[in-house]
Amino acid sequence: MTIEKLYSRKVMNHFLHPKNMGQIKNPSGVGRVGNPVCGDVMELSLKIKPAKDINQSKITDVKFKTFGCGAAIASSSMMTEIVKGKTVSEAIKITNNAVTEALGGLPPVKRHCSVLAKEALVKAIDNWKQKSIHSTSSGHSML
């Protein structure tokens, strides 16, 4: 079976020309996840503009670094495209299935890559929330 039959055109595009690859300087939150079974490791960093209602805070920038297979890189790239500009409450509702669908599908043995992308997003948002709680409890406003 050829690679073109395994992966959609969107997967190949996000693998060969990933969007938002890199790191954010002074990120609001960072999420790192890894899968020891296949060796994929993802890091997602967020820049979030705070709002009075923490859930309405907006993701203004997002970047990723992924060490792994083409599906892992494509899933990370697509996740960044989906969440950029969303509020935290909108972003947290994005499922791994939404990433898979946006990519035009993934082979069953590669669907865990979209799960890793979701887990990295959740960890990055959780990291930002922890920083926010710590900052506001120490008297520094996040706004």
Task: Kindly name the residue from 38, 51, 115, 122 that is annotated as catalytic.
Answer: 38
List CB contacts of 40: < 8 A, sequence separation 6 or more: 34, 66, 67, 68, 69, 72, 112, 113, 116
Told to judge if 69 belongs to the known catalytic residues of this protein, a careful annotator would answer no
pLDDT tens string, the chain, 143 residues long: the values are 566 678 999 999 999 999 999 999 999 999 999 966 668 899 999 999 999 998 999 999 999 999 999 999 999 999 999 999 999 999 999 999 999 999 999 999 999 999 999 999 999 999 999 998 777 655 555 54
What tokens were used for 56?
Answer: 């309405």
Phi first, then psi, for residue 57 (nearest 5°) are -60, 145
Architecture of domain 3-133: Alpha-Beta Complex (3.90)
Task: Kindly name the residue from 11, 42, 103, 113 that is annotated as catalytic.
Answer: 113
Global pTM value: 0.89
Told to judge if 113 belongs to the known catalytic residues of this protein, a careful annotator would answer yes
